[in-house]
Structure 1
Amino acid sequence: MIRVAVVDDERLVRSGLRMILGTAPDVEMVADCSGATAVETVRRSAAEVVLLDIRMPDVDGLTVLRGLRAAPEPPAIAMLTTFDAQEYLTAALREGASGFLLKDSDPEQLIRAVRTLAAGGSVLDPGVTRAVIGGYLNAETQAAAAEAVRALTPRESEVLALLGEGLGNAQIAARMGLAPSTVKDHVSALLGKLGGINRVQAAIVADRAGLVAGGPR
């Protein structure tokens, strides 16, 4: 079972997410709370995945994110919001969030996102404009990454494309018919080759390079 915690100041939102996640046989919502008690509640619940409201009146979501990321073994965290303000998205991803989901995401999409996060992947809701996503990479990083993409081998480009789909190492291994340890080595080497960026940045690079289905060409 994938242990999930939801942090949101609106009780109705938490109840709705509990109902949606409860329809998945492999997902268990182990905690829900507002921002004020979030860090302690999530740690006690041993949640593997956290869906975290990015803006709350009692404690800012970014503050909660930092607190959760400071744990020895932090959970995968996706930020929840009803808007796509670039400054919040950029700050959240730089603080270690594994993705960004709109609160009105389709239930099946939400469940898939939880499974992806639990598998070590990243999630970027298609409702978030590419202009906003692109703001996460500064001009210097974008230029360096674009140059590095052109120098990738076909195998490395394939791995980057799968990172762009948000897949975790085990999922990439299954797709490519490789051992997870081999994929882990490929991913580490690839991220280094792209300038030491992280998985979420790599997913954005893949999208902007046109390696992801439906991405820019």
Structure 2
Amino acid sequence: MIRVLIVDDQRLMREGLRTLLGLENDIMVVGVAGDGSEVIPALTEKPDVVLMDIRMPKMDGITATRNVLQQQPDVKILMLTTYDEQDDVVGALSAGAIGYLLKDMPAEEIAEAIRVAVRGGAVLPPNIAKKFLTAVNQQERAPEPAEPVLQKPPQAVAGLTERETDVLDCLAQGMSNREIAEQLHVTEGTVKNHVSNLIAKLVLRDRTQVALYAVRQGYGQLPTHNKPS
């Protein structure tokens, strides 16, 4: 049974989520909190996953996320919010949240996101992942003050094929599988196979981790080869 703590300043949202998640056979809501400042005491219920709102009156969800992970680093935190501004996305994921969900998602998708989080996977809808990758790119490409702009070449990764390297480059740019397929003139199925190979070769958990790895290795700057697979 997956133990879930809900943190949201709107009572209707808290109770609605409690009811909806209570319909799932493998999920149990073990507590609710109305503000980020109430989260630490609620950890006595030993949740596996915390559904965390971002904007709350006394303590915001990003600060609360940092506090939770200092106390219990194994807890998985999913942000569940109305807002998808880039600063919120970057702040939440940088603080250690494993996913970022929007409140207009169907209840079954939220439940599935909880299951993915418990398995250790990152949970980011494509539009949210793209915002985060764009921000990371901007931060890591920014030159130091008073220094010339230098283009950092991508770090070569042993064991990758040329086409896998092309896909890695596209992932670093925040492209979806469809966009990668169009860029490289291959099918989406072929792209999915390449992504699966990258996950296995780089020993990472999922597509999002591969994309973040690619950004930090310097990919996303150079044109892809555009050769048929």
- Tell me the TM-score range normalised by the shorter chain: 0.5 to 0.7
Cα distance in 1 between the residues matched to 2:135 and 2:209: 16
Cα distance in 1 between the residues matched to 2:116 and 2:93: 16
Q: CA deviation at 1:151?
A: 6.1
Q: CA deviation at 1:62?
A: 1.4
Change (3 A) 1:137 1:62: same
Matched residue of 1:138: which SS? Answer: helix
Q: Which amino acid aligns with 2:154?
A: E
Cα distance in 2 between the residues matched to 1:95 and 1:137: 18
Instruction: Report what 1:101 is aligned to.
Output: 101
Q: Which amino acid aligns with 1:39?
A: I
Contact 1:4/1:49 (8 A) holds in 2: yes
**1:186 aligned to which of 164, 187, 203:** 203
Change (3 A) 1:52 1:200: farther
**Rg bigger for which structure?**
2
Instruction: Report what 1:10 is aligned to.
Output: 10
Percentage identity across paired residues of the two chains: 34
Change (3 A) 1:71 1:104: same
Contact 2:89/2:131 (8 A) holds in 1: no
Q: CA deviation at 1:201?
A: 5.9
**1:153 aligned to which of 153, 160, 180:** 160
Cα distance in 1 between the residues matched to 2:82 and 2:210: 21
Contact 2:47/2:75 (8 A) holds in 1: yes
Change (3 A) 1:137 1:39: farther
Instruction: Report what 2:90 is aligned to.
Output: 90
Change (3 A) 1:120 1:147: same
Change (3 A) 1:100 1:53: same
Cα distance in 2 between the residues matched to 1:139 and 1:133: 10
Cα distance in 2 between the residues matched to 1:92 and 1:30: 23
Q: TM-score, normalised by structure 2?
A: 0.64
Matched residue of 2:84: which SS? Answer: coil
Cα distance in 1 between the residues matched to 2:24 and 2:213: 26
Instruction: Report what 2:19 is aligned to.
Output: 19
Q: Which amino acid aligns with 2:39?
A: A
Change (3 A) 1:134 1:185: closer
Q: State how many pairs are aligned.
A: 181
Alignment of 1:23-62 (within 5 A): 23-35=23-35, 36-41=37-42, 43-62=43-62
Matched residue of 1:32: which SS? Answer: strand
Cα distance in 1 between the residues matched to 2:79 and 2:132: 14
Contact 2:133/2:212 (8 A) holds in 1: no
Matched residue of 2:204: which SS? Answer: helix
Matched residue of 1:202: which SS? Answer: helix
Root mean square deviation, CA, Å: 4.0
Cα distance in 2 between the residues matched to 1:131 and 1:149: 25
Change (3 A) 1:116 1:129: closer
Contact 2:204/2:210 (8 A) holds in 1: no
Deviations 1:124-167 (A, max 9, x none): 134537345522443536986x934876626xx5xx89xx99xx
Q: CA deviation at 1:107?
A: 1.2
Change (3 A) 1:149 1:50: farther
Greater displacement, 109-118 / 122-131: 122-131
Q: CA deviation at 1:89?
A: 1.1
Q: Which amino acid aligns with 2:119?
A: A
Cα distance in 2 between the residues matched to 1:136 and 1:104: 26
Q: CA deviation at 1:202?
A: 2.8
Change (3 A) 1:96 1:86: same
Q: Which amino acid aligns with 2:204?
A: V
